[in-house]
Amino acid sequence: MISSKNLLTIEDFTPEDILQVLDTAVSFKDVNARAIKKLPTLRGRTVINLFLEPSTRTRTSFEIAAKRLSADAINMSGSASATVKGESLADTAETLSAMNCDLVIIRHRYAGAPGILARHMDARIINAGDGKHQHPTQTLLDLYTIREELGSIEGKTVGIIGDIAHSRVAGSLCPALVALGAKPIVIAPPTLMPSRPDILGAEKSYSLDDLLPDLDVVYTLRIQQERMDESPFPSLREYAMLYGIDSKRLQAMKPGAIIMHPGPINRGVELSAEAADSPRARILDQVNAGVAVRMALMYLMLGGEQSGSVA
């Protein structure tokens, strides 16, 4: 079983916990390939997808995972919930708690929000992305993909390229890679770099081309168009010129190295169409692993408990 009640930050899980999730996900991946994909494991359990920031892929992935385990999955989005009426997150948590749910998966635009839920309810909490802080389940599926494609995580060099400063994906991936013996390098212009990448355990570089031949994983991050107001770089054209993966850079990659991206991709910015569709790209494998990893996570976090049913 997992050593932590909740998954608020990736550091809540020991390396053993992480590997247990990945190992368990292998068998769920097989289930997902079957014609009949449903298991009775979490029958009678209530899982709430509390998505207070717009998200399609992560919410869908969690919903599919919960339903394939036969849990009752309810989606609450920002616009549908009480949050627009000015209810605090603490009050939302207590309201949900009063409905006896077993697991709440929360996506929120502010860092630390999952912790507020955890303080105000007994249900287990999974952080599905909190502000610019962390996105631990993305990290788990990323680790799954790296291990599946490269055989192991330990010793691998992972270049994470793009808007590191505002990236919850990098915020949880870097410390997890370090915990599992891999080497993260964050690659970005200084205007997209956090002030202390060393705190995340990552080396930093401004030059992709210097490092590209050494990377086992080329992990590109989405450039968020809404950040362009702050003008962190002169143009998308120049960004693509300096940091985009195009056919030339595809050639410069190490043999066997893979391209990853948390999605959704901006074709022509982070990745040229050629790169996005190349055999090196593992972007859809990440999405595929996401469902299995989230099933494994829910199974391990809820499956070992007694059923709450009195009937």
Partner 1 sequence: MALLLKGARVIDPAVGLDGIIDIKIGDGRIADVGKDLDAGDCEVRDLAGMILIPGLIDVHVHLREPGQEYKETIESGTRAAAKGGFVGVCPMPNTKPVCDSGPRLRYLVETAEKCGYARLYPVGSLSTGLAGTQLSEMGDMVAQGAIAFSDDGRGVQNDGMMRRAMDYAKMFDCVVMSHCQSEDLVGNGVVNEGVASTRLGLAGWPAEGEEIQIARDIALCRLTGCRLHIQHVTTAGGVKIIRAAKLEGLPVSCEVTPHHLFLDEDSIDTGYNTNLKMNPPLRTKDDCAALQDALLDGTIDCIASDHAPHAAHEKALEFELAPFGTIGLETTLPLVLTNMVRSGRMSYARLVDVLSHNPRRILKLEPVTIERGSSADLTVIDPEAHFVVSVDGFESKSANSAFIGETLVGMAYDTYVAGVATLCSGKVV
Instruction: Name which of 97 and 278 has its Cβ closer to partner 1.
Output: 97
Instruction: Name which of 160 and 295 has its Cβ closer to partner 1.
Output: 160
Under rule CB under 8 A, residue 159 binds partner 1:
no
Under rule CB under 8 A, residue 280 binds partner 1:
no
Shortest CB 199 distance to partner 1, Å: 5
Under rule CB under 8 A, residue 130 binds partner 1:
yes
Under rule CB under 8 A, residue 65 binds partner 1:
no
Shortest CB 91 distance to partner 1, Å: 9
In this structure, is the dihedral angle defined by the CA atoms of residues 210, 147, 170 and 243, taken in order, positive or negative? positive
Contact region with partner 1 (CB under 8 A), list: 60-68, 125-133, 151-159, 263-271: 125-133
105: part of which helix (H) or strand (E)?
strand 103-108
Shortest CB 113 distance to partner 1, Å: 5
Shortest CB 294 distance to partner 1, Å: 22
CA–CA separation, 14 and 7 (whole Å): 11
| Interface with partner 1 (CB under 8 A), residue from 34, 40, 196, 229 | 196
| Interface with partner 1 (CB under 8 A), residue from 136, 197, 262, 290 | 197
Q: Quick one: DSSP state of residue 192?
A: G
Under rule CB under 8 A, residue 195 binds partner 1:
yes
Torsion angle of the four alpha carbons 258, 131, 7, 305, in this order, in degrees rounded to the nearest 10: -120
Q: Count other Cβ atoms within 10 Å, centred on residue 285.
A: 16
Under rule CB under 8 A, residue 132 binds partner 1:
yes
User: How many binding residues for partner 1 (CB under 8 A)?
Assistant: 26
Under rule CB under 8 A, residue 80 binds partner 1:
no
CA–CA separation, 223 and 32 (whole Å): 31
Shortest CB 35 distance to partner 1, Å: 41
| Interface with partner 1 (CB under 8 A), residue from 9, 58, 138, 145 | 9
Under rule CB under 8 A, residue 272 binds partner 1:
no
**C-alpha atoms less than 13 angstroms from C-alpha of 133 in its C-beta half-sphere:** 19
Contact region with partner 1 (CB under 8 A), list: 14-22, 31-39, 88-96, 206-214: 88-96
Shortest CB 133 distance to partner 1, Å: 3
Q: Count other Cβ atoms within 10 Å, centred on residue 237.
A: 12
| Interface with partner 1 (CB under 8 A), residue from 159, 162, 189, 194 | 194
CA–CA separation, 235 and 232 (whole Å): 9
CB 147 within 8 A of CB 128: no
218: part of which helix (H) or strand (E)?
strand 217-220
Structure tokens at 137: 């389940």
Residue 83 in 3-state DSSP?
Answer: helix
Structure tokens at 271: 């990745």
Instruction: Name which of 168 and 249 has its Cβ closer to partner 1.
Output: 168
Q: Count other Cβ atoms within 10 Å, centred on residue 287.
A: 16
22: part of which helix (H) or strand (E)?
helix 15-32
Shortest CB 76 distance to partner 1, Å: 17
Under rule CB under 8 A, residue 46 binds partner 1:
no
Residue type at position 259: I
Chain centre distance of CA 240: 24
- The residue ranges that bind partner 1 (CB under 8 A) are 8-9, 11, 88-90, 108, 110-113, 115-116, 130-134, 168, 171, 194-197, 199-200
